[in-house]
Amino acid sequence: LLSLLFEDLFKKFNSEMKKIADQVIPKQRAAQFDVVKHMRQDQITNGMVNAISTGNWSLKRFKMDRQGVTQVLSRLSYISALGMMTRISSQFEKTRKVSGPRSLQPSQWGMLCPSDTPEGEACGLVKNLALMTHITTDMEDGPIVKLASNLGVEDVNLLCGEELSYPHVFLVFLNGNILGVIRDHKKLVNTFRLMRRAGYINEFVSISTNLTDRPYIIVKKQKPAVTNKHMEELAQGYRNFEDFLHESLVEYLDVNEENDCNIALYEHTINKDTTHLEIEPFTLLGVCAGLIPYPHHNQSPRNTYQCAMGKQAMGTIGYNQRNRIDTLMYLLAYPQKPMVKTKTIELIEFEKLPAGQNATVAVMSYSGYDIEDALVLNKASLDRGFGRCLVYKNAKCTLKRYTNQTFDKVMGPMLDAATRKPIWRHEILDADGICSPGEKVENKQVLVNKSMPTVTQIPLEGSNVPQQPQYKDVPITYKGATDSYIEKVMISSNAEDAFLIKMLLRQTRRPEIGDKFSSRHGQK
């Protein structure tokens, strides 16, 4: 996609250059045509940046117009970022009320999470990967073609049409292209799998009689290949998962290959026909559904509701959250790790970056204030910091350079004539005209006292221009009904070498009427 976009932008850039050259060159002039002056170097960059930041890819030459190709990663909480990385969006129209594309197919067992899908119009069209699913990577097919011909696959070009209709002759396809025919197909499949288990072929290459993968334990003679000894070595760090793959203890299977495998869920259900064993049955669920303790005791749609609400849980977003300057960031003041853990919580290390708190909840009737979804909270626990959260917002300011060699300035605070102290609007400014960290900001107070020149273009010849540039005030002010505190100020430069000033503003909020609380079982 990126190469197509670059090609489109490059051709556009060339055609514009050609237009300018055609206009300039025929004129009878002494000055030589300078190509470099007319090159718009920002055109290709802006096109790419715009496509990636908005997600709208419109290529005129290929009549392609797509929305949502790229999406901005949501950093509302640690789980929302993880959940977004495992999301699968299908390009089906949301408005059509058809149940076919929305239903879960039997072949998706173990590949997609059965609970994690949004309710509403996108239901069933937006899916999520299960916990152990891998997306396969592309690889070159030359070695595989060689191996197939060595294992007895005959080239189609050397045959007449008769052999194809023989009863024991099978066609061999590679990525949808026909490779040739073979008589003894079982030998080909078995040898191929042995080669893959030994590590001679990429673990993601699948072979099946008749594109996502999932690892399974190999079963030989009714015994799983992975024993307790192997698990102890894994825990002590002598082996890793790659060793398990190369020693043919574990292998990846995709949807096509699962059709001719007999997979046991538990070790005690292995019989003489079993070929593989599930590593762990709970990996059927995805990241968000894996956070629910005892999901098999819930009504099925409750798990789906919890998957949507778990992403909105306020808590921590990462170890670098104090260094980030986000447009909007919610943090909990006292997050706690859950008392009841699941195996998935330990695997994704959710207890190290938790969201939410362990509350004591009584389910009882209390004077009718708790009808339907309502809760009655204890005021004493709110005063001690239950549900207390921090809301961070940012304010930006860029100082540009203009074509006529003038530039934006930051002026110091304006002083009151009588008291020689800064006026109320400039109270929080330092001597350099930028607000100082730790100050309390009220509505309409100035954060950066910026001034820009009144004339920014190159003047025409013959017009009278004042020698000294004149400046007008364009201050960055704080707009907000509630007061904030300045957490920190960052000064850096952006791509055009202009000064960039970012301020992080902090508010502390306590729970109030209208806030939503929820347990981990979809009980909002």
Q: Which of 304, 190, 291 is nearest to 248 (CA)?
A: 190
Q: Which residues contact 402 (CB under 8 A, 6 or more apart)?
A: 453, 456, 457
Task: Provide the 3-class DSSP secondary structure of residue 2.
Answer: helix
Any domain includes 370: no
Specify the range with the lowest mean pLDDT, choosing from 47-51, 134-138, 332-336, 422-426. 134-138
Average pLDDT over residues 377-386: 92
Same structural domain, 37 and 163: no
Q: Which residues contact 443 (CB under 8 A, 6 or more apart)?
A: 478, 479, 480, 481, 483
Any domain includes 32: yes
Is the distance from CB of 357 to CB of 389 less than 8 angstroms? no
Q: What is the pLDDT of residue 153?
A: 82
Any domain includes 105: no
250-254 and 170-174 beta bridge pairing: unpaired
What secondary structure letter does DSSP report for 138? P
Specify the range with the lowest mean pLDDT, choosing from 49-63, 155-169, 238-252, 366-380. 155-169
Q: What is the pLDDT of residue 100?
A: 83
Which phi and psi (to 5°) does residue 224 adopt? -65, 145
Burial of 433 by CB count in 10 Å (0-12 exposed, 13-18 middle, 19+ buried)?
buried
> How many C-beta atoms surround the C-beta of residue 262 within 10 A?
13
Average pLDDT over residues 71-90: 88
Any domain includes 359: no
Is the distance from CB of 322 to CB of 304 less than 8 angstroms? no
pLDDT band at residue 332, thresholds of 50, 70 and 90?
A: very high
Is the distance from CB of 16 to CB of 40 less than 8 angstroms? yes
Is the distance from CB of 518 to CB of 511 less than 8 angstroms? no
Q: What is the pLDDT of residue 30?
A: 55
Condensed to tens digits (0 to 9), the pLDDT of residues 151-189 reads 888 887 777 777 777 777 788 888 778 888 887 777 888
Any domain includes 47: yes
Q: What is the pLDDT of residue 391?
A: 94
> d(Cα 263, Cα 279) in Å, to the nearest integer?
10
Q: What is the pLDDT of residue 213?
A: 81
Q: What is the pLDDT of residue 209?
A: 65
Any domain includes 194: yes
Domain boundary residue, one of 278, 312, 340: 278
Radius of gyration of the CA atoms of the chain, in A: 32
Q: Which residue has the higher pLDDT, 60 or 238?
A: 238
Mean pLDDT (the chain) is: 85
- Provide the whole-model pTM: 0.80
What is the amino acid identity at position 147?
L
Scanning the structure block, which residue is given the tokens 């919610």? Answer: 330
Condensed to tens digits (0 to 9), the pLDDT of residues 209-243 reads 656 788 888 888 888 888 889 889 888 988 888 88
Residue-range definition of the domain harbouring residue 189: 142-278
64-66 and 223-224 beta bridge pairing: unpaired
Q: What is the DSSP string of 305-332?
A: HHHHHHTT--B---TTTTT---SEEEEE
Tell me the angle at which helices 78-85 and 300-310 cross, rounded to the nearest 10 degrees: 110
Same structural domain, 162 and 251: yes
Residue 466 has pLDDT above 80, yes or no: no
Question: Which contiguous run of DSSP H or E holds residue 453?
Answer: strand 450-453
Average pLDDT over residues 508-519: 90
Same structural domain, 60 and 147: no
Q: Which of 285, 286, 309, 360 is nearest to 523 (CA)?
A: 309
Residue 28 has pLDDT above 70, yes or no: no
Domain boundary residue, one of 16, 33, 66: 66
Any domain includes 376: no
Any domain includes 205: yes
Same structural domain, 146 and 267: yes
What is the amino acid identity at position 99?
S
> d(Cα 243, Cα 234) in Å, to the nearest integer?
10
What is the domain-level CATH number for residue 213? 3.90.1070.20
Domain boundary residue, one of 278, 305, 324: 278
Is the distance from CB of 200 to CB of 143 less than 8 angstroms? no
Same structural domain, 273 and 146: yes
Tell me the C-alpha to C-alpha distance, in Å, between residue 159 and each of 87, 155, 162, 176: 46, 7, 8, 20
Number of domains in the chain: 2
Tell me the two tokens of residue 289: 């559904």
Looking at the DSSP bridge assignments, the partners of residue 395 are 503
Q: Which residue has the higher pLDDT, 114 or 258?
A: 114
Q: What is the pLDDT of residue 461?
A: 61
